Structure 1
Amino acid sequence: MTEDASGASPAHDPRTARRVPETLDEHQLRERHPEYRVDVERIRFSPYYSRLSAVTQVIAQTGAGLAVHNRLTHSVKVAAVARGIAVQLSNDTGDAGRLVAGLGGCDPVVVQAASAAHDLGHPPFGHLGEQSLDRLAKDRFGLRDGFEGNAQTFRIITRLDEYDRAGAGLNLTAAVRAAVLKYPWLRAEGDRWDGRDVMPRGMAPAAPGSGAYKFSAFTLDAHEMRDARASYPAIAPLQQTVECSVMDIADDIAYSLHDLDDFYRAGLLNQSTISAEFRAWRRDRDALHAAAHGDLVLSERTPGRSLELLWRRLAAKDPWIADEDAFADAVARVNDEVIDGLLAVPFDGSMLTERTLSQFTAVWISRLQHSVTVSADPSIRSGHVSLDRTAWHDVAVLKFLHQRFILDRPDLAVYQRGQANVLERLVDGFAAWLDDPLDVRRAPRRLLDLVDLAAEDYARLRRESPELVDAADGEDLRRRATGRGIIDYVASLTDAQAMHIDALINGSPERLWDAGQGL
């Protein structure tokens, strides 16, 4: 659904509904600033949004070149890519445009807002921090939901980041709240689906009984998810809204290209090593196809094996779109344009290499932006809006470059293990502090506030949905509220804050009053 000539959405549109009715002054404000534009600004002016500038994507800010991406610059670029796709869809006057309208619309400003918000829940140290907090939440506090960055994002915009009144979060429209729900289910949903051949993308449990691997709302916030989704009756229960699908696609595009940008700048992509992997797969394709899976796993570091294993994973998980010829074409395209093209000239910081990199990125983004399709009845592994077959394979191969040649590096793993220890010490340190009756009153005020919020949420859940509360008694409930509050607090820190507070709380010699490092 598009905006009217003034930029405002029709007043009767349920997608513009907010969780808390507005005052007269706010209605007057809306006459000057359309509904969804207000949401964009509330997110952009949020302290949770600002902190993303100090949360590492993969490489630290001192990594290389003029610009290395952090979570904030990544979010800005996701918003730009997503808006381009949304404008295409909202301006489409053919079958695709009519289908999008029938599914609830694709407003470019809603997509911008969701893109700005999509990484708010990322904790310090990126995905490694997410995994560490998930384990700590379950092991230390018995939180079955654990921790998940997407669910934390939704909790931030609906509960933790208050705009102008208590209990309403940022009070965003239903459209924007729904567009943030990339995985619109609770963690427990994964156990109900466990064992089925085809599951929604991200739902498959990491281990039997562990619940969905990815999910977009904690049990405490399930009512908020239901409320946001109620405005989209044409969208199936486990399916993304159109605007959410566009944001999700843009996230994939930006991630696959901007991380490549960073790794190239930092000189981490060894052209000869990567070339050997691609050349071996293309040369030995038939023999690799015939090899036993176990043999491939045992010799995964031998050139060609990792690409073959990637192809087998794609074919097994996504038979609705995976195609052997399309995969081979993507391997050839990435080989020609990335490995033998971009990487053949090492980045030296010159204006020439900056220009070459910019042109390369612009061409690929434009190609992928214009490679979206719309489906009335998509695979359960896809969204109503998705990349076409060619682009889908291209993105899969680009992501493979990151995973195989950067994220699997032992030197990065050693560093990340140290970061995991920082988070563990923080969680344990704050838990011990809150258990100290003689000193609890001096704990950080925001930490105490977050614990109180979690306690209110658990009390409401016990009243309204007691079947979702697995606490044995009031004391157990308070323990879980304390755990959720601590996890919420630690997840809101920047990388530098986490390191600094870890040093302070564990008695290491640090300057107490360093600017910007306060509790």
Structure 2
Amino acid sequence: MGDLAEQRASRRYGTSAGDLAASPFRADRDRVVASPFFARLGGVTQVVSVSGSGLLHNRLTHSLKVAQVARAIAERLIADPRLAPELDKLGGCDPDVVEAAGLAHDLGHPPFGHLGEQVLDRLARHRFGLPDGFEGNAQSLRIVTTTDTGGPSGKGLDLTAAVRAAMLKYPWTRLSHPRPHPRGMDDPPRGASEPSGEKGTGSSKFSVYVTELDDLAQARAPFAARLAPWQQTVEASVMDIADDIAYAIHDLEDFHRIGVLQHAPVAAELGRWVGAALELAELDDQLLAQRARRPGYSLEILRRRLHRRDSWIVNDEAFVAAVRRVRAELVDNLLTTPFDGSVEAEQAVGRFSAGWTARLIDGMSVVLDPPNRAGHVLLGSAQWHEVQVLKFVHRRFVLLRPDLALHQRGQARLLTALVRALEQWLADRYESDRLPRRLQDLVGLAEEEYSELAATDSSTLVGAVGEPPQGEAGIRELARGRAVIDFVASLTDSQASSLLDALSGRTAQPWSDAFVL
């Protein structure tokens, strides 16, 4: 493993003079934590906007929990001597690597969480013609390799290859790399398929923009003989599962705390399905969809969707057992007593979170030849089904609430207006000397990147919508679009709102946020 360890640590083989940790992977973790992009996550939405109550996770606390769970998984895997041969063949599993990747994985999330991601992607592709659009995972890699300045080189954080590879949940670009692209596979990896109804737009999830292709190649080089180009590293797989666990457990915990996750509707949904599973299984898909708001019907829709997408693992007996376990531990235990801030209530939440996390981690295994839709580290069958049911509860009873949709529509309008206002400012030649310095720097950086791509591989600049850039003017237009998207994506929720107020003349208060300007 010695040679591989050296390769995994490149682009650097040790720590710089400014690093406190002796291990390069621990130094990576420290650099991520010291980054202003990491600090801003405290003001970025996880599911609903940060309220200041301290009861809801934000992207910062979510990242800390993902790192914690990822490290626990890695330590359990490497402590099992039976798994050592498999881990060695696949490139290793270092707890420091997965912890650093867990801390860094959400650095690119824009204001207002996944809603912001969707809005910026739509604007990036349709308004600016960017070949990649916007994707939070790819933005995270762009930050640690390009737009952050905390590393010794002044460009990116200069993280090791292993940590950068561990950040790549989806190690491909939207459209072009690797070739052949995994979205064309008969059974594409999770996230590689095109969104339903959007043929030709490329993968729905991806971790790399075309501007970071060199970083993709360099980070993945140590694994070239061990993994398919589209397959996660073991450490990326660990981080990905940890993210799923944190999402499935801790977000439910949040919404129980603030009274959003109510006992009656969840109990009705799970109880009705358990009591009428055979009857519901006889209904056709159209009738199910028409009655999706009735208790039990949405859960049956989930069961069928799992059969279509994940036939490699889905099992009806395991699904029934998962529904029964979630019903017993979530509905009949945690949700029976409303959260009131008491010691008893806090202890109940703690037992629920700790118990589920330990159960899911205990079910891990390592496989050399996983199905395309899974990584080399797998949840046990029972635990996999339980995660699907927990995530279903979160989506059905939190994400689909009309009151959340109401706020998100307003946030979408805010981000759209902010992007347009910054675009107009950039285009105003009378204001060119007064633009935010960071925005000017981002334009220069993107112009340099796109010019190089146009000279070496112009096909990467042709998106699913729009035409290739025409000459220097076309390159500059692309660069302006990329810069505006990078700039807005680096704001907190409140910074985005306050900046639009200032640009719209709705506030007379002088701007004093140096990180923004």
Short-chain TM bin: over 0.9
In 1, the alpha carbon distance for the partners of 2:279 and 2:253 equals: 33
Q: Which residue of 2 aligns with 1:99?
A: 86
Q: For 1:277, what is the secondary structure of its paired residue?
A: helix
Q: Equivalent residue of 1:13, what SS?
A: helix
Q: Could you say which residue in structure 2 is the equivalent of 1:5?
A: none
In the aligned structure 1, how far is the partner of 2:446 from the partner of 2:515?
25
Instruction: Tell which deviates more after alignment, 189-198 or 500-509.
Output: 189-198
- On the 8 A contact 1:18/1:171 being kept in 2, the answer is yes
2: CA distance between counterparts of 1:436 and 1:307?
Answer: 53
Measured in 2, the distance between the counterparts of 1:442 and 1:364 equals 53
Taking structure 1 as reference, are residues 134 and 162 closer, same or farther at Cα in structure 2, changes over 3 Å only?
Answer: same
Change (3 A) 1:430 1:500: same
Aligned residues of 1:194 and 1:208 also touching (Cα < 8 A):
no
Secondary structure at the counterpart of residue 284 of structure 1: helix
Correspondences of 1:208-223 after superposition (within 5 Å):
208-223=199-214
1:66-77, aligned counterparts within 5 Å? 66-77=54-65
The separation in 2 between residues aligned to 1:217 and 1:32, in whole angstroms, is 28
Instruction: Flag the 1:227–1:517 CA change in 2: closer, same or farther, 3 A.
Output: closer
The 1:146–1:466 alpha-carbon spacing in structure 2 relative to 1, beyond 3 Å, is same
**Structure 1 pair 84/287, CA: closer, same or farther in 2 (3 Å)?**
same
Higher deviation after alignment, 301-310 or 160-169 = 160-169
Distance in 2 separating the partners of 1:81 and 1:401? 21
Q: Percent identity, aligned pairs only?
A: 47
Whether the 8 Å CA contact 1:497–1:517 is kept in 2: the answer is no
Within the candidate set 154, 157, 171, 2:141 is matched to: 154
C-alpha spacing 1:432/1:366, structure 2 compared with 1 (3 Å)? same
1:487 paired residue number: 485
TM-score, with structure 1 as normaliser: 0.94
Distance 1:468 1:47, change over 3 A: same
The one-letter code matched in structure 2 to 1:51 is R
> Structure 1 residues 335 and 224 mapped into 2: Cα distance closer, same or farther (>3 Å)?
same
CA offsets 1:83-105 (integer angstroms, 9 cap, x no match): 011011122211x2210111110
The secondary structure found in structure 1 opposite 2:223 is coil
Q: Which residue of 1 aligns with 2:432?
A: 440
**2 CA distance for matches of 1:484 and 1:413?**
28
The one of 493, 503, 507 equivalent to 1:509 is 507
Match of 1:41 in 2: 30
Distance 1:27 1:175, change over 3 A: same
Partner residue, 2:358:
366
Tell me whether 1:409 sits opposite 2:389 in the alignment: no
Contact 2:4 2:222 in 1 (8 A): no
Q: Measure, in 1, the Cα distance between the counterparts of 2:515 and 2:18.
A: 35
* Inter-partner Cα distance in structure 2 for 1:472 and 1:301: 50
Change beyond 3 A, Cα 1:283–1:63: farther
Q: Is the CA contact (8 Å cut-off) linking 2:21 and 2:27 kept in structure 1?
A: no
The answer to whether structure 1 residue 163 and structure 2 residue 150 are counterparts is: yes
Q: Partner amino acid for 2:11?
A: R
Distance, in Å, in 1 between the alignment partners of 2:374 and 2:428 is 49
- Indicate how the Cα distance of structure 1 residues 517 and 92 shifts in structure 2: closer, same or farther if over 3 A, else same: closer
Q: Which of 118, 133, 139 in structure 2 is aligned with 1:131?
A: 118
Q: 2:369 aligns with which of 366, 377, 385?
A: 377
Say yes or no: does 1:304 pair with 2:296. Answer: yes
1:54 equivalenced with 2:47 (yes/no) = no
Q: What is the CA-CA distance between 1:29 and the residue it aligns to?
A: 6.4
Spell out the pairing of 1:13-52 with structure 2 (5 A cutoff). Answer: 13-18=6-11, 33-52=22-41
TM-score where L is the length of structure 2: 0.94
Counterparts of 1:112 and 1:505, CA distance in 2: 39
Q: Aligned runs of 1:246-395 on 2, under 5 Å?
A: 246-395=238-387
| Rounded Cα–Cα distance in structure 1 between residues aligned with 2:282 and 2:496 | 49
Q: Cα–Cα, structure 1 residues 425 and 222, in superposed 2: closer, same or farther, change >3 Å?
A: same
Distance 2:144 2:403 in 1: 36
Measure how far apart 1:386 and its partner are.
Answer: 1.3
User: Which residue, out of 141, 161, 164, partners 1:174?
Assistant: 161
CA RMSD of aligned residues (A): 2.0
Tell me the equivalent position of 2:98: 111
| Secondary structure at the counterpart of residue 378 of structure 2 | strand
Structure 2 counterpart of 1:4: none
Which one of 202, 208, 224 corresponds to residue 215 of structure 2?
A: 224
CA distance in 2, matches of 1:133, 1:367: 37
- Report the AA paired with residue 290 of structure 1: E
Cα distance in 2 for partners of 1:473, 1:189 equals: 22
Q: Separation in 1 of the partners of 2:398 and 2:17?
A: 51
Partners of 1:330 and 1:321 in 2: how far apart? 14
Counterparts of 1:381 and 1:80 in 2: how far apart (Å)?
A: 25
Secondary structure class of the residue paired with 1:183: coil
The residue that corresponds to 1:499 in the other structure is 497
Q: In the aligned structure 2, how far is the partner of 1:150 from the partner of 1:253? A: 18
Q: Secondary structure at the match of 2:108?
A: coil
Preserved CA contact (<8 Å) 2:48 2:404: no
Structure 2 segments unaligned to the other structure (5+ residues): 462-467
Report the AA paired with residue 123 of structure 1.
P
Whole-angstrom distance in 2 between the partners of 1:345 and 1:178: 43
How far apart in 1 are the matches of 2:59 and 2:22? 27
- Whether the 8 Å contact between 2:48 and 2:112 is mirrored in structure 1 is no
Using the alignment, how far apart are the partners of 1:195 and 1:382 within structure 2?
A: 17
8 Å Cα contact 1:500-1:517 kept in structure 2 = no
Deviation at 1:14, TM superposition (A): 0.5
Bigger mean CA deviation after superposition, 494-503 or 82-91: 82-91
The one-letter code of the counterpart of 2:377 is V
Q: 1:376 and 1:11 mapped to 2: Cα distance?
A: 18
Q: Could you tell which deviates more after superposition, 191-200 or 179-188?
A: 191-200
Question: What do residues 39-70 of structure 1 show as CA deviations (whole Å, max 9, x unaligned)?
Answer: 01010000000000111112333375x53211
Aligned counterparts of 2:434 and 2:295: Cα–Cα separation in 1:
57
**Which residue of 1 is the match for residue 131 of structure 2?**
144
Instruction: Give the direction of change, closer, same or farther, for the CA distance of 1:127–1:165 in structure 2 (3 Å limit).
Output: same
Moved more, 403-412 or 127-136: 403-412
Question: Could you tell me how far apart the structure 2 residues matched to 1:30 and 1:270 are?
Answer: 48
2:199 partner amino acid = P
Moved more, 122-131 or 443-452: 443-452
Query: How far 1:474 sits from its partner (Å)?
Result: 1.8
Whether the 8 Å CA contact 2:124–2:481 is kept in 1: the answer is yes
Distance in 2 of aligned mates of 1:89 and 1:461: 41
Q: Distance in 1 between matches of 2:416 and 2:17?
A: 48
Q: How many angstroms apart in 2 are the aligned matches of 1:225 and 1:509?
A: 43
Hey, what does 1:427 align to over in structure 2? 419
